[in-house]
Every structure is written in C-alpha cells, then in structure tokens.
Amino acid sequence: MSPTVQRPDLGGPFPEHIAIIMDGNGRWATERGMPRIFGHREGVRSVREVTTECARMGVKSLTLYAFSEENWKRPGQEVTYLMRLLRVFMRRERKTLMKNGVRLRCIGRLDRLPAASLDALRETEALTADNDGMLLRLALSYGSRAEMADAVRRMAEEARAGTLDPASIDEETLRAYLYDPTTPDPDLVIRTAGEMRVSNFLLWQLSYAELYVTPFCWPDFRRDQLLGAMKEFASRRRKFGGLEQEDIPAASTESVEETT
C-alpha cells in the first residue's frame, strides 16, 4: 500500500510525469574544493528527497537521467565510483521505496552495466514490481538515439521475418518499440545546473514537454526547488500545436479573404 498522497495546490495543472536531467554534481563539488565524486555522493540525497516528495505529492511517474550512454567516456575512476554508488543505492533504498509504494523500472542499454550493479537493480525492480504508487524510472546507460536505433533494428528484423508490415508503421508503432512504451510522455522536464540542452534524453518522448532549467546544481535541488518547478509548470499554457479557446477568432470578425 502506498502512503497517503497529498497533492499540493499548484494553481494550475499538475505534472503527472516529471523527468529530470540531474546535472551539476561535479561542479557542485569543485566549487567546494572537493573531488567530483563528492558531488555524486551528495546528489544521492537529492534523489532520495525528490523521489520521496514526488511520491507523496502523487506524481504518477518520475524519470531520472542518472547515467547517459555518452557518460561511459568519462575517466574510469569516476565511472567505477558511479557504478558502485548505483549498486549501494539500489540496496540501501529498498526499504524507503517499499515504504513509499514506489515501483522501480530502469531504461537504457543495461547490458553495459557491471554485473553486480545490474543484479542489484533487477532485484530492486522485482521487489517493488507490485507496488501501486509512483513509478520511478532510472535512465542508465541511456541514450535516446541508441533507443531509437534499437527500436528501428527490431522493427526491421520483424519486417524481414514478415511479422511487421512496413506499410502499417505509424508513430504509435515506433513508440511500441521504445524501451518503455506504456509510460505516458513526460509533462515537465527539469534540467539542473543551467545548461540549455537535452543531452540525448528522451528525444521522442519530450516532443511536447514543458522545459524548465534551473541554475541549482543537482545536490542543491530539493523539495523547495521541485515545488518551484511544478508551480512554473502549472502557469504554462500548453497548446500542442493547436489554439486555446480564447485565441480562436470569432468566425464573423475574421475571414481568410479579409486578411489575405
């Protein structure tokens, strides 16, 4: 059973799915004269707080970009530390995830992860699979272009085998071959530490997400900063390419002939 959910009044729509590019751990540590790994360690506290707060506030899905396919390029020592942190986090957080009714799912090229980290992750996924609260998705060894390449390869194999008709392929078909097709697209994407880019994150799924970039480095991104982002989301006008009722001109006052 998930704990009592208390949705805050944001003064507007609630983001059902929040995705976060957790950036700035290294800078956070460097600014304090410490090695980069201290930033990663401190960042885990933010993961815990933001996950717990989202679950309590009734967010349906939270996707955290924890390690990109391109992050394998980093120095071996940093990568090893991050993989160890992942393993320890997976084991240590189980109790909290269970208490908060959180379900864990990982997306990415997980076969690249060290066996011990992958085992810890699969065990936690299995343990939390029946929880009925928030879905926590961790993007690990994740790259959106890799996800699309993986999807297209599988589609091509099925087309060759005769089980997929190329003429029937539409947007929903492609979606069905992505890593986690059943989770609705993110409503709000938060990037910490100020960079104005998406760094190969959910390129397909972010098509109509609201973007929010904050100068706070990830280790400093906690409950108040999360609420600030959610309130900003609530004040946005999402149009999905259409027009809102109040922007539609009255038929009698504007015609195509008059304006051309």
- Which CA distances in Å does 181 have to 105, 171, 177, 205, 256? 12, 12, 7, 10, 41
- When asked if residue 143 is in the footprint of ligand IPE (CB under 6 A), the reply is no
The two counts, helices (H) then strands (E), for the chain are 9, 6
Q: What are phi and psi of 211, to 5 degrees?
A: -100, 140
Interacting residues with ligand IPE between 11 and 50 (CB under 6 A): 21-27
- When asked if residue 212 is in the footprint of ligand IPE (CB under 6 A), the reply is no
According to DSSP, the residues that pair with 189 across neighbouring strands are 19, 211
Can you tell me whether residue 218 is helix, strand or coil?
helix
Q: Specify whether 220 is catalytic.
A: no
d(CA 42, CA 29): 9
- When asked if residue 131 is in the footprint of ligand IPE (CB under 6 A), the reply is no
51: closest CA among 103, 92, 12, 1? 103
Q: Least Å distance between CB 186 and Mg ion?
A: 20
* From Mg ion, ligand IPE, none, interface partner of 15 (C-beta below 5 to 8 A by class): none
- When asked if residue 67 is in the footprint of ligand IPE (CB under 6 A), the reply is yes
**Amino acid at the residue 13:** P
Cβ proximity to ligand IPE: between 174 and 198 the closer is 198
Q: Specify whether 71 is catalytic.
A: yes
Cβ proximity to Mg ion: between 23 and 69 the closer is 23
Cβ proximity to ligand IPE: between 21 and 54 the closer is 21
- Which CA distances in Å does 118 have to 88, 141, 224? 11, 11, 32
User: Which of 18, 19, 62, 66 contacts ligand IPE by CB under 6 A?
Assistant: 66
Q: Least Å distance between CB 40 and ligand IPE?
A: 6
Cβ proximity to Mg ion: between 23 and 93 the closer is 23
Interface with ligand IPE (CB under 6 A): 21-27, 65-68, 71, 82, 193, 195, 197, 199
Catalytic residues: 23, 71
